[in-house]
Chains A and B, each alone.
Chain A
Amino acid sequence: MNQSEHDNEEAMDILSERENGLGRPNKLANWVKRILDIAWFVSIGSLIIWPIAVFIIGYSIPEDPNERHTDINFYLNFAVYPDKNFIELPSGKATDLSKVSELVKGKGQIKLNNTKAVSAWYIAGAITEITGLISLFGLWYLRKVFALLAIGDSFNEQTPLYLKKVGYIAIASNIAWSILQYLGGAAIINDVGQHASFIHLSPAIEPNLGGIFIGLAILVLAGILEEAAQIQEEQALTI
Protein backbone atom coordinates (compact mmCIF):
# COMPACT_ATOMS: atom_id res chain seq x y z
CA MET A 1 0.00 0.00 0.00
CA ASN A 2 1.48 3.37 -1.01
CA GLN A 3 1.35 6.54 1.10
CA SER A 4 -1.59 8.06 -0.79
CA GLU A 5 -3.72 4.96 -0.31
CA HIS A 6 -2.76 4.84 3.35
CA ASP A 7 -3.79 8.49 3.78
CA ASN A 8 -7.09 7.76 2.07
CA GLU A 9 -7.71 4.83 4.39
CA GLU A 10 -7.00 7.01 7.43
CA ALA A 11 -9.25 9.77 6.13
CA MET A 12 -11.95 7.17 5.57
CA ASP A 13 -11.45 5.91 9.08
CA ILE A 14 -11.97 9.38 10.55
CA LEU A 15 -14.96 9.97 8.27
CA SER A 16 -16.45 6.66 9.31
CA GLU A 17 -16.02 7.42 13.00
CA ARG A 18 -17.56 10.85 12.56
CA GLU A 19 -20.39 9.46 10.51
CA ASN A 20 -21.22 6.74 13.01
CA GLY A 21 -20.15 8.08 16.36
CA LEU A 22 -21.16 11.70 16.72
CA GLY A 23 -24.61 12.95 17.51
CA ARG A 24 -25.89 16.50 17.36
CA PRO A 25 -23.95 19.10 19.38
CA ASN A 26 -25.69 19.78 22.69
CA LYS A 27 -26.23 23.50 23.31
CA LEU A 28 -27.00 23.10 27.03
CA ALA A 29 -23.88 20.98 27.55
CA ASN A 30 -21.93 23.65 25.72
CA TRP A 31 -23.20 26.31 28.15
CA VAL A 32 -22.42 24.13 31.16
CA LYS A 33 -18.94 23.53 29.71
CA ARG A 34 -18.40 27.30 29.48
CA ILE A 35 -19.53 27.79 33.10
CA LEU A 36 -17.21 24.95 34.18
CA ASP A 37 -14.37 26.58 32.23
CA ILE A 38 -14.90 29.83 34.12
CA ALA A 39 -15.14 27.94 37.44
CA TRP A 40 -11.95 26.05 36.52
CA PHE A 41 -9.91 29.18 35.86
CA VAL A 42 -11.32 30.99 38.91
CA SER A 43 -10.50 27.91 41.07
CA ILE A 44 -6.96 27.68 39.73
CA GLY A 45 -6.43 31.39 40.36
CA SER A 46 -7.86 31.12 43.86
CA LEU A 47 -5.77 28.06 44.71
CA ILE A 48 -2.61 29.82 43.56
CA ILE A 49 -3.40 33.08 45.36
CA TRP A 50 -4.76 31.44 48.55
CA PRO A 51 -1.51 29.82 49.88
CA ILE A 52 0.41 33.01 49.05
CA ALA A 53 -2.16 35.07 50.96
CA VAL A 54 -2.11 32.60 53.87
CA PHE A 55 1.69 32.83 54.11
CA ILE A 56 1.78 36.62 53.79
CA ILE A 57 -0.94 37.09 56.43
CA GLY A 58 0.57 34.33 58.60
CA TYR A 59 3.99 35.93 58.38
CA SER A 60 2.56 39.32 59.36
CA ILE A 61 0.79 37.99 62.47
CA PRO A 62 2.38 39.91 65.34
CA GLU A 63 4.34 38.05 68.01
CA ASP A 64 2.46 39.81 70.78
CA PRO A 65 -0.96 38.10 71.21
CA ASN A 66 -2.58 41.42 72.21
CA GLU A 67 -1.76 42.89 68.79
CA ARG A 68 -3.17 39.98 66.81
CA HIS A 69 -6.36 40.50 64.85
CA THR A 70 -6.29 37.51 62.51
CA ASP A 71 -9.72 35.95 62.14
CA ILE A 72 -10.10 32.25 61.47
CA ASN A 73 -13.35 31.00 59.96
CA PHE A 74 -13.98 27.34 60.69
CA TYR A 75 -16.89 24.94 60.98
CA LEU A 76 -17.21 24.04 64.69
CA ASN A 77 -19.65 22.87 67.33
CA PHE A 78 -20.55 25.49 69.91
CA ALA A 79 -22.42 25.41 73.20
CA VAL A 80 -23.32 28.43 75.29
CA TYR A 81 -23.64 27.85 79.04
CA PRO A 82 -25.22 30.12 81.62
CA ASP A 83 -22.37 31.99 83.22
CA LYS A 84 -23.59 31.57 86.82
CA ASN A 85 -24.02 27.81 86.43
CA PHE A 86 -20.80 27.24 84.60
CA ILE A 87 -18.49 24.93 86.45
CA GLU A 88 -14.89 25.89 86.08
CA LEU A 89 -13.01 22.71 85.38
CA PRO A 90 -9.22 22.66 85.34
CA SER A 91 -9.10 19.96 82.68
CA GLY A 92 -11.85 21.58 80.56
CA LYS A 93 -12.92 18.21 79.22
CA ALA A 94 -16.15 18.03 77.26
CA THR A 95 -17.35 15.04 79.30
CA ASP A 96 -17.21 17.13 82.45
CA LEU A 97 -19.14 19.92 80.78
CA SER A 98 -21.95 17.49 80.07
CA LYS A 99 -23.01 17.94 83.69
CA VAL A 100 -24.06 21.49 82.85
CA SER A 101 -27.07 22.03 80.63
CA GLU A 102 -26.35 24.47 77.82
CA LEU A 103 -28.52 27.42 76.81
CA VAL A 104 -27.71 27.27 73.12
CA LYS A 105 -26.08 24.51 71.16
CA GLY A 106 -25.30 24.15 67.50
CA LYS A 107 -22.72 23.94 64.76
CA GLY A 108 -21.70 26.40 62.13
CA GLN A 109 -19.07 28.60 60.58
CA ILE A 110 -17.46 30.24 63.60
CA LYS A 111 -15.18 33.25 63.28
CA LEU A 112 -12.39 32.98 65.84
CA ASN A 113 -10.17 35.85 66.77
CA ASN A 114 -6.75 34.28 66.69
CA THR A 115 -5.18 35.71 69.82
CA LYS A 116 -3.18 32.76 71.10
CA ALA A 117 -1.53 30.80 68.32
CA VAL A 118 -0.11 31.32 64.83
CA SER A 119 -0.27 27.70 63.66
CA ALA A 120 -4.10 27.68 63.80
CA TRP A 121 -4.13 30.17 60.95
CA TYR A 122 -1.97 27.89 58.78
CA ILE A 123 -4.05 24.80 59.66
CA ALA A 124 -7.29 26.52 58.58
CA GLY A 125 -5.63 27.79 55.40
CA ALA A 126 -4.12 24.38 54.55
CA ILE A 127 -7.46 22.60 54.95
CA THR A 128 -9.13 25.04 52.55
CA GLU A 129 -6.29 24.51 50.05
CA ILE A 130 -6.38 20.68 50.29
CA THR A 131 -10.15 20.42 49.81
CA GLY A 132 -9.92 22.97 46.99
CA LEU A 133 -7.26 20.89 45.21
CA ILE A 134 -9.35 17.71 45.49
CA SER A 135 -12.36 19.55 44.05
CA LEU A 136 -10.18 20.91 41.23
CA PHE A 137 -9.48 17.35 40.03
CA GLY A 138 -13.23 16.70 39.93
CA LEU A 139 -13.78 19.91 37.99
CA TRP A 140 -11.07 18.90 35.50
CA TYR A 141 -12.76 15.61 34.64
CA LEU A 142 -16.22 17.18 34.65
CA ARG A 143 -15.01 19.67 32.04
CA LYS A 144 -13.77 16.79 29.90
CA VAL A 145 -17.16 15.06 30.14
CA PHE A 146 -19.03 18.20 29.13
CA ALA A 147 -16.55 18.91 26.33
CA LEU A 148 -17.48 15.55 24.80
CA LEU A 149 -21.22 16.08 25.40
CA ALA A 150 -21.03 19.56 23.86
CA ILE A 151 -19.75 18.19 20.52
CA GLY A 152 -22.37 15.43 20.58
CA ASP A 153 -19.89 12.66 21.38
CA SER A 154 -22.02 11.42 24.30
CA PHE A 155 -21.08 7.77 23.92
CA ASN A 156 -17.36 8.24 23.58
CA GLU A 157 -15.52 5.45 25.40
CA GLN A 158 -13.72 8.08 27.50
CA THR A 159 -16.95 9.55 28.92
CA PRO A 160 -17.63 6.74 31.45
CA LEU A 161 -13.97 6.75 32.48
CA TYR A 162 -14.09 10.49 33.20
CA LEU A 163 -17.44 10.15 34.98
CA LYS A 164 -16.06 7.35 37.16
CA LYS A 165 -13.21 9.62 38.22
CA VAL A 166 -15.69 12.41 39.00
CA GLY A 167 -17.69 9.95 41.13
CA TYR A 168 -14.65 8.70 43.03
CA ILE A 169 -13.44 12.27 43.59
CA ALA A 170 -16.91 13.34 44.82
CA ILE A 171 -16.91 10.49 47.37
CA ALA A 172 -13.26 11.00 48.38
CA SER A 173 -13.62 14.77 48.75
CA ASN A 174 -16.71 14.45 50.93
CA ILE A 175 -15.04 11.87 53.19
CA ALA A 176 -11.78 13.85 53.27
CA TRP A 177 -13.68 17.06 54.05
CA SER A 178 -15.40 15.47 57.08
CA ILE A 179 -12.13 14.05 58.44
CA LEU A 180 -10.16 17.26 57.84
CA GLN A 181 -12.98 19.30 59.33
CA TYR A 182 -12.86 17.28 62.55
CA LEU A 183 -9.06 16.97 62.85
CA GLY A 184 -8.54 20.59 61.80
CA GLY A 185 -11.17 21.78 64.28
CA ALA A 186 -9.47 19.83 67.08
CA ALA A 187 -6.05 21.26 66.15
CA ILE A 188 -7.37 24.82 65.85
CA ILE A 189 -9.21 24.67 69.19
CA ASN A 190 -6.10 23.15 70.75
CA ASP A 191 -4.06 26.10 69.46
CA VAL A 192 -6.53 28.91 69.89
CA GLY A 193 -8.15 27.66 73.10
CA GLN A 194 -11.56 28.52 74.49
CA HIS A 195 -12.34 32.21 74.24
CA ALA A 196 -14.89 32.52 77.03
CA SER A 197 -15.68 30.39 80.03
CA PHE A 198 -19.41 30.16 79.15
CA ILE A 199 -18.94 29.37 75.44
CA HIS A 200 -17.52 25.95 74.67
CA LEU A 201 -16.20 25.08 71.22
CA SER A 202 -15.55 21.56 69.96
CA PRO A 203 -14.56 20.09 66.58
CA ALA A 204 -17.54 19.31 64.36
CA ILE A 205 -17.97 16.25 62.21
CA GLU A 206 -20.72 16.33 59.69
CA PRO A 207 -20.36 13.82 56.88
CA ASN A 208 -22.00 15.11 53.72
CA LEU A 209 -24.09 12.04 52.98
CA GLY A 210 -25.79 13.85 50.10
CA GLY A 211 -22.42 14.44 48.44
CA ILE A 212 -21.36 10.80 48.96
CA PHE A 213 -24.69 9.63 47.53
CA ILE A 214 -24.23 11.88 44.48
CA GLY A 215 -20.76 10.35 44.02
CA LEU A 216 -22.23 6.83 44.14
CA ALA A 217 -24.99 7.83 41.72
CA ILE A 218 -22.35 9.18 39.31
CA LEU A 219 -20.49 5.83 39.51
CA VAL A 220 -23.72 3.97 38.65
CA LEU A 221 -24.35 6.39 35.77
CA ALA A 222 -20.79 5.83 34.54
CA GLY A 223 -21.41 2.06 34.53
CA ILE A 224 -24.58 2.50 32.47
CA LEU A 225 -22.79 4.86 30.09
CA GLU A 226 -19.96 2.32 29.71
CA GLU A 227 -22.47 -0.26 28.48
CA ALA A 228 -24.13 2.35 26.27
CA ALA A 229 -20.75 3.22 24.73
CA GLN A 230 -20.13 -0.47 23.97
CA ILE A 231 -23.57 -0.81 22.36
CA GLN A 232 -23.01 2.38 20.38
CA GLU A 233 -19.62 1.12 19.16
CA GLU A 234 -21.16 -2.17 18.05
CA GLN A 235 -23.97 -0.28 16.34
CA ALA A 236 -21.53 2.10 14.64
CA LEU A 237 -19.42 -0.79 13.33
CA THR A 238 -22.37 -2.81 12.06
CA ILE A 239 -22.39 -2.35 8.32
Chain B
Amino acid sequence: MAKAIKVNLDLLLVQKKKKLKDLSEEVGITMANLSTLKRGKGKAIRFSTLLALCEALDCTPGDLLELEELTQQSN
Protein backbone atom coordinates (compact mmCIF):
# COMPACT_ATOMS: atom_id res chain seq x y z
CA MET B 1 0.00 0.00 0.00
CA ALA B 2 1.39 3.42 -0.98
CA LYS B 3 1.95 5.96 1.71
CA ALA B 4 2.17 9.73 1.82
CA ILE B 5 2.86 12.55 4.22
CA LYS B 6 -0.27 14.41 5.30
CA VAL B 7 -0.09 17.96 6.65
CA ASN B 8 -2.52 18.43 9.51
CA LEU B 9 -2.60 22.22 9.24
CA ASP B 10 -6.37 22.28 8.89
CA LEU B 11 -6.87 20.30 12.09
CA LEU B 12 -4.33 22.32 14.07
CA LEU B 13 -5.90 25.61 12.95
CA VAL B 14 -9.26 24.42 14.28
CA GLN B 15 -7.70 23.15 17.54
CA LYS B 16 -5.79 26.38 18.13
CA LYS B 17 -8.76 28.46 16.92
CA LYS B 18 -6.64 30.35 14.44
CA LYS B 19 -7.38 31.61 10.96
CA LEU B 20 -5.12 30.96 7.98
CA LYS B 21 -4.73 34.72 7.49
CA ASP B 22 -3.57 35.26 11.08
CA LEU B 23 -1.12 32.36 10.82
CA SER B 24 0.19 33.78 7.56
CA GLU B 25 0.94 37.12 9.21
CA GLU B 26 2.46 35.45 12.27
CA VAL B 27 4.89 33.16 10.42
CA GLY B 28 5.52 35.43 7.42
CA ILE B 29 4.43 32.90 4.80
CA THR B 30 1.98 33.96 2.12
CA MET B 31 -1.62 32.78 2.21
CA ALA B 32 -1.06 31.11 -1.15
CA ASN B 33 1.82 29.02 0.16
CA LEU B 34 0.01 28.10 3.38
CA SER B 35 -3.01 27.12 1.32
CA THR B 36 -0.80 24.92 -0.87
CA LEU B 37 0.52 23.25 2.27
CA LYS B 38 -2.93 22.89 3.82
CA ARG B 39 -4.35 21.19 0.74
CA GLY B 40 -1.45 18.75 0.54
CA LYS B 41 -0.23 20.17 -2.77
CA GLY B 42 3.23 21.01 -1.49
CA LYS B 43 6.18 18.82 -2.47
CA ALA B 44 8.56 19.76 0.35
CA ILE B 45 8.70 21.82 3.51
CA ARG B 46 11.72 23.80 4.71
CA PHE B 47 12.97 23.31 8.28
CA SER B 48 12.53 27.07 8.80
CA THR B 49 8.87 26.84 7.73
CA LEU B 50 8.31 23.80 9.95
CA LEU B 51 9.89 25.58 12.93
CA ALA B 52 7.85 28.75 12.36
CA LEU B 53 4.61 26.78 12.09
CA CYS B 54 5.38 24.67 15.16
CA GLU B 55 6.14 27.82 17.17
CA ALA B 56 3.02 29.62 15.98
CA LEU B 57 0.75 26.62 16.54
CA ASP B 58 2.53 25.47 19.70
CA CYS B 59 2.95 21.94 18.44
CA THR B 60 5.62 19.47 17.37
CA PRO B 61 6.52 18.41 13.80
CA GLY B 62 4.82 15.10 14.62
CA ASP B 63 1.56 16.92 15.27
CA LEU B 64 1.82 18.78 11.97
CA LEU B 65 2.91 15.89 9.78
CA GLU B 66 1.38 12.44 9.63
CA LEU B 67 2.08 9.30 7.62
CA GLU B 68 -1.07 8.13 5.91
CA GLU B 69 -1.88 5.20 3.67
CA LEU B 70 -3.19 6.11 0.26
CA THR B 71 -6.35 4.53 -1.02
CA GLN B 72 -6.55 3.70 -4.73
CA GLN B 73 -8.78 6.71 -5.44
CA SER B 74 -6.53 9.32 -3.82
CA ASN B 75 -3.34 10.70 -5.38
Using CB atoms, name the residue of chain B closest to A16. Answer: B32
Question: Which of B11-19, B40-48, B54-62, B67-75 makes up part of the contact surface?
Answer: B40-48
Closest Cβ of chain A to B23, distance in Å, is 12
Interface of A is mostly: helix
A-B contacts counted at CB < 8 A amount to 43
Q: How many residues of A contact B (CB 8 A)?
A: 11
Q: A234-B44, A238-B44, A238-B46 are in contact. Are A19 and B39 (CB under 8 A)?
A: no
Complex CA gap A183/B37 in Å reads: 61
C-beta contact mask, A1-20 vs B, less than 8 Å → 1, else 0? 00000000100110110010
Please classify how large the interface on chain B is, using the bins under 10, 10 to 19, 20 to 34, 35 or more: 10 to 19
CB of A19 within 8 A of CB of B32, answer yes
Q: A12-B35, A13-B36, A238-B46 are in contact. List 18 more A-B contacts (CB 8 A).
A: A12-B36, A13-B39, A13-B41, A15-B31, A16-B32, A16-B41, A19-B30, A234-B43, A234-B44, A237-B36, A238-B43, A238-B45, A239-B33, A239-B34, A239-B36, A239-B44, A239-B45, A239-B46
